[in-house]
A and B are shown apart, each in its own frame.
Chain A
Amino acid sequence: MTVSLEINSITAHYGTTKVLENLSLLVKAGELVSLLGASGCGKTTTLRLVAGFLTPTSGTIALGGKDLTRLPAYRRDIGLVFQNYALFPHLSVRDNVAFGLKQRGIAGVERSMKADDMLARVGLSALGARFPSELSGGQKQRVALARALVIEPPLLMFDEPLSNLDAKLRVDMRVEIRQLQRANGTTSVYVTHDQEEAFSISDRVAIMHQGRIMQFDTPEELYQRPANAFVARFVGFENLIPMKVVARKGEVATAQAPGGVTLDFPQRRFGAVPDDFVLATRADGLAVSADPASAGIPCRLGLRTYLGRAYQYQCETEAGHLIANGSLAEPLASGSAARLVPVPEQCCVLKPE
Chain B
Amino acid sequence: MSGRIHPALVVFGAIVFIFLVAPLFIIVGASVSDTPYLAFPPRGLTLQWFWNIFAIEAFRSTAITSLQLAVLGTSLSLIIGIPAAYALNRYRVELPKWLSTVYVLPILVPEIVFGFSLMKSVSVGLGTPIFLSLLIGHALLVLPYSVRVVSASLASFDFSVEEAAISLGCPPLKTFFTVLLPNIRSGVIAAFILAFITSVNDVSISVFLTGPGISTLPIQILAYMQQFFDPTIASVSVLLMIVTVAVMGVVEATLGLTFLAK
What residues of chain A have their CB less than 8 Å away from a CB belonging to chain B?
Answer: 51-53, 72-80, 82, 84, 86-90, 99-100, 103-104, 144, 147-148, 151
Do A86 and B168 touch (CB < 8 A)?
no
The 24 sampled A-B contact pairs (Cβ below 8 Å) are: A72-B171, A73-B163, A73-B166, A73-B167, A74-B166, A74-B167, A76-B167, A77-B169, A79-B167, A80-B163, A80-B164, A86-B160, A86-B161, A89-B161, A90-B182, A90-B183, A99-B170, A100-B168, A100-B169, A103-B169, A103-B170, A104-B169, A148-B167, A151-B169
Do A75 and B169 touch (CB < 8 A)?
yes
What residues of chain B have their CB less than 8 Å away from a CB belonging to chain A?
Answer: 158, 160-161, 163-172, 175, 179, 182-183
Do A99 and B165 touch (CB < 8 A)?
yes
Complex Cα spacing A190 to B131, Å: 59
Closest 3 CB pairs of A and B: A100-B168, A103-B169, A86-B160
B residues less than 8 Å from A73 (CB atoms): 163, 166-167
Complex Cα spacing A52 to B166, Å: 10
A residues less than 8 Å from B182 (CB atoms): 90
Do A88 and B170 touch (CB < 8 A)?
no
Do B164 and A103 touch (CB < 8 A)?
no
B residues less than 8 Å from A87 (CB atoms): 161, 164
Do A82 and B172 touch (CB < 8 A)?
no
Report if A86-B158 is in contact (Cβ < 8 Å); known contacts: A80-B163, A80-B167: yes
Report if A84-B158 is in contact (Cβ < 8 Å); known contacts: A73-B167, A78-B167, A79-B167: yes
A residues less than 8 Å from B183 (CB atoms): 88-90
Chain B residue at smallest Cβ distance from A104: B169
Complex Cα spacing A86 to B160, Å: 6
| Chain B: minimal CB distance from A19 (Å) | 14
| Chain B: minimal CB distance from A218 (Å) | 29
Do B158 and A99 touch (CB < 8 A)?
no
Report if A99-B167 is in contact (Cβ < 8 Å); known contacts: A84-B160, A87-B161, A89-B161: no
Chain B residue at smallest Cβ distance from A75: B169
| Chain A: minimal CB distance from B101 (Å) | 23
Complex Cα spacing A88 to B164, Å: 9
A residues less than 8 Å from B158 (CB atoms): 84, 86
B residues less than 8 Å from A89 (CB atoms): 161, 183
Complex Cα spacing A51 to B183, Å: 24
